[in-house]
Structure 1
Amino acid sequence: MNQRIDPAAAVRLLDAGKAHAVDVREPDEYRAGHIPGALLLPLGEVKARAAQMMPDKNAPWLVYCRTGRRSAQAIAWLEQMGYTNLYNLGGILNWPYEVEGDFEGRF
């Protein structure tokens, strides 16, 4: 299942421990600011490292990037790999809640 999820629904799932956020941006973007607790899995590493980083293919995974384009690509690949409970959170630019990071860079 691949569906869009809005930030309000996503934060409820994350706060309840019912989902995990996955950031598919590059490490420097992640360091600049990311959703608290999000796993870093750059888009270029999704195919090679998803099984290691995201072992439960049936768990709810909230995938995001900067604007939503990379998250859509990552979800397409993850679906091909057998992941069944994927949510496209889109871009962190639309995330109105807390973020962690050094904030020196830009999202």
Structure 2
Amino acid sequence: MSEKITAADAIRLLDAHEAAAVDVREPDEFAVGHIPGAKLLPLGQVLSRAAEVLPDKNAVWLVYCRTGRRSADAVRKLESLGYTRLYDLGGILSWPYEIEGDFEGHF
């Protein structure tokens, strides 16, 4: 079962290397800006590529997208594949911490 996680709780897990971020947006969106170290797994590829991109089904994965709609869908799909420690981080638009990428002040 998954649950929502706040940005503050997520950054603590990321900084402690106890979780990894998973961006389920498209590659062009990811290139514009993403959470440092995030793995890219576009929503449309979750069912076909999750085992390749996220090999540990028991690791803590923090799933996010742009606004939170795709992340919720991705979490449901990952749960159906047997992932056990998922958190829906929502959208990067509400992420107050560092973002890396080729953004020019827009998302």
- TM-score after normalising by structure 2: 0.97
Which aligned pairs between 1:68-83 and structure 2 lie closer than 5 A? Answer: 68-83=68-83
AA in 1 matched with 2:84? T
Q: Percent identity?
A: 70
Matched, 1:19 2:19: yes
- For residues 53 and 101 of structure 2, the distance between their equivalents in structure 1, rounded to whole angstroms, comes to 20
Moved over 2 A (4+): 104-107
Contact 1:29/1:105 (<8 A) preserved: no
The 3 A distance-change label for structure 1 pair 105 and 50 is farther
Structure 1: which 5+ runs fail to align?
none
Report Cα offsets for 1:41-70 as digits up to 9, x if no partner.
000010000001101101100000000000
2:10 counterpart residue number: 10
Q: Distance in 2 between matches of 1:48 and 1:86?
A: 18
Report Cα offsets for 1:26-49 as digits up to 9, x if no partner: 011101000000000000010000
Aligned to 2:65: 65
Please report how far the alpha carbon of residue 106 of structure 1 lies from its aligned counterpart in structure 2 after TM superposition. 3.3
Task: Find the counterpart in structure 2 of residue 32 from structure 1.
Answer: 32
Q: How many residues of Structure 1 are paired with residues of Structure 2 in the alignment?
A: 107
- Counterpart amino acid of 1:77? K
Structure 1 residue 104: deviation in Å?
A: 3.2
Counterpart in 2 of 1:54? Answer: 54
1:105 deviates by 7.3
Q: Are 2:92 and 1:89 aligned?
A: no
* Structure 2 stretches lacking a partner, 5+ long: none
TM-score, length-normalised on structure 1? 0.97
Q: Matches of 1:31 and 1:105 in 2, distance apart?
A: 13
The residue number in structure 2 matching 1:98 is 98
- Structure 1 residue 17 displacement after superposition: 0.1
